[in-house]
Amino acid sequence: DVPLVESGGGLVQSGGSLRLSCAASGFTFSTYWMTWVRQAPGKGLEWVANIKQDGSETYYVDSVKGRFTISRDNSANSLYLQMNSLRAEDTAVYYCARGSKYCPFGWGQGTLVTVSS
């Protein structure tokens, strides 16, 4: 049983939008902070966004502020990342992770987003 499964990735043109989903199972989703992290091809990990258990606090890396929105639906055990105004530099594998406010400790397998210019 895989606790976190991402979906929604794919190929999109520059300026377009995508919505990533992360389905959680096997743990009490509503009690964890959730995080999105991305990894461009051949590059390192980059923190993208965090959201508190009840969705009342959200935080973003500067490069996605105003373009990406993290949200969650605790009744559906799901995490989301709405990505608008996509750029070529947003091309990456996007991972969701559960954890504390300060540390992700359970990672999904990732979903690939490719932005064509």
Binding residues for another protein (CB under 8 A): 35, 37, 44-47, 50, 59, 61-62, 95, 97, 101-110
CA distance 64 to 48: 7
What's the closest the beta carbon of residue 102 comes to another protein, in angstroms?
A: 4
Give 59 or 84: the residue with its C-beta nearer to another protein. Answer: 59
Compute and round to an integer the Cα radius of gyration of the chain: 13
What's the closest the beta carbon of residue 110 comes to another protein, in angstroms?
A: 6
Give 29 or 94: the residue with its C-beta nearer to another protein. Answer: 94
What's the closest the beta carbon of residue 44 comes to another protein, in angstroms?
A: 4
Give 35 or 91: the residue with its C-beta nearer to another protein. Answer: 35
Cβ neighbours of residue 4 under 8 Å, at least 6 residues apart?
22, 23, 24, 96, 97, 98, 106, 107, 108, 109
Give 8 or 14: the residue with its C-beta nearer to another protein. Answer: 8
What's the closest the beta carbon of residue 64 comes to another protein, in angstroms?
A: 11
Residue that is written with structure tokens 């559906």 in the block: 76
The tokens describing 60, both together, are: 């973003």
23 within 8 A of 35, measured Cβ to Cβ: no
